[in-house]
């Protein structure tokens, strides 16, 4: 009998929509700022951001001291990378470029211990270096979430198979890569991209799997109504840069 869901897995399975941020810069202080800002979760972008395991650890430690759930977007659907990231003690793994049901199954199995998966047993930070090993082994499968990103035409084509994957907690849409894969690079508003997103949302609804979209904070209601349950509303580099430029412009305008 499967254990009752807990932690981030339980949050994703609940009807309450979640709003989060991306952290792409390996700065623990910024992790603390985002983690205490009120976001439900923070995605650490170890796929595109300049992270190593050594720089990822202090960011994960900083987030662990905040109310926000920590999700790491790993560099690849690789069981070794996923295992090493899990040993840092995170709440969820977001796997990029999932293009088939088989790849989604592989992602879930890399996150879960036997009998649900193939994750190796270590004594890293996740278990307080062995001190909490028995309890962690008992609780991890029920609480650590697996999120699959659909970012290309193949993923859209096989979205029903991906959504049907046992143990998959959410499907996240990657609109920029999706636009490139659909031949309209950078045009996330293009009808091809929007139709693909609608197809992903429909498959998620049919399978009862939460979908993750992204957009401005002021559009959260419309994004939720469009089918998003895990909504990204803040991107550190983009939004901090925009705020800085706006401050400079406001300062200069006050001198005129």
Question: Any idea which residues carry the catalytic annotation?
Answer: 48
Q: Tell me if residue 99 falls in helix, strand or coil.
A: coil
C-alpha angle with apex 21: 124 to 11, nearest 5 degrees?
70
Diameter of the chain measured on Cα atoms: 70
Q: How far apart are CA 195 and CA 177, in angstroms?
A: 15
d(CA 216, CA 207): 27
The residues facing 214 across adjacent strands are 232
> What letters, b where the CB count within 10 A reaches 16 and e where it falls short, cover 211-245?
bbbbeeeebeeebeeebbbbbbbbbbeeeeeeeee
Does the bond joining 48 to the residue before it have cis omega, within 30 degrees of 0?
no
DSSP assigned state of 88: T
Strands (E), 88-229: 92-95, 145-150, 170-173, 211-212
């Amino acid at each position: 009998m499967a254990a009752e869901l807990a932690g981030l897995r339980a949050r994703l399975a609940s009807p309450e929509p979640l709003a989060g941020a991306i952290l792409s810069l390996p700065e623990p202080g910024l992790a603390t700022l985002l983690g205490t800002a009120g976001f439900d979760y923070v995605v650490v972008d170890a796929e595109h951001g300049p992270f190593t395991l050594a720089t990822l650890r202090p960011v994960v430690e900083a987030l662990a001291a905040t109310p926000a759930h920590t999700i790491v977007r790993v560099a690849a659907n690789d069981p070794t990378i996923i295992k090493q990231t899990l040993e840092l003690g995170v709440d969820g793994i977001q796997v990029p470029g999932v293009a088939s049901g088989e790849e989604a199954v592989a992602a879930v199995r890399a996150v879960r211990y036997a009998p649900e998966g193939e994750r190796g047993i270590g004594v890293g930070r996740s278990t307080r270096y062995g001190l909490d090993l028995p309890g962690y082994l008992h609780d991890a499968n029920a609480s650590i979430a697996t999120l699959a990103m659909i970012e290309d035409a193949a993923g859209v084509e096989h979205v029903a198979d991906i959504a049907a994957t046992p143990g998959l907690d959410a499907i996240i849409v990657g609109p920029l890569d999706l636009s490139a894969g659909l031949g309209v690079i950078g045009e996330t508003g293009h009808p091809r991209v929007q139709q693909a997103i609608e197809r992903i949302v429909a498959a998620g609804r049919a399978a009862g799997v939460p979908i993750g979209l992204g957009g401005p904070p002021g559009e959260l209601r419309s994004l939720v109504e469009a089918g998003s349950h895990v909504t990204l509303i803040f991107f550190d580099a983009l939004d901090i840069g925009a705020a800085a430029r706006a401050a400079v412009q406001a300062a200069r305008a006050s001198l005129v």
